[in-house]
Structure 1
Amino acid sequence: MKVVIEFYRTRVADDAHAVVGRETVEAADLDAAIEIALLLARTLNMPQWPDAVAIADADGTTIYSGVLAAQAGTDKGPPP
């Protein structure tokens, strides 16, 4: 299935979301899409480390969203 994975930062004060990365991928099922999202969170070159991820199906319906583990020591992305 074709899914869109969005990585975003959230602002605690008002729960505003800023997308810092977006990828369209093919995945066998939702579990595979989540695995791909976790891999991409560590490997994509994004301007900031994302706080959370959302996965949408081809129709744009969100089928998964979750918080990513905090990355210690940087706000510009995962360590090399």
Structure 2
Amino acid sequence: MQITLDLPDQLAEKLAALPDPRRFVIDLLAESLTGGLSQDEWWVLLEDIEGVAVDTGVTDLAERHDHYLGAI
């Protein structure tokens, strides 16, 4: 299965700064589908994504995302 998300640029940039954004989104979706986060809680979390961001030192993630996804 493939899911495509259309996010505002600012939110996408914040999400991309996470060490494993794909896993982060999957975990949030799984938790939400099993009675975890409400829609409002999702937005609060995503709007404050800088609070959970980690500086990985990767400067070319946007350009070489396929390379880094292959490492998962």
TM-score, L = length of structure 1: 0.27
| More helix, by proportion | 2
| More strand, by proportion | 1
TM-score, L = length of structure 2: 0.29
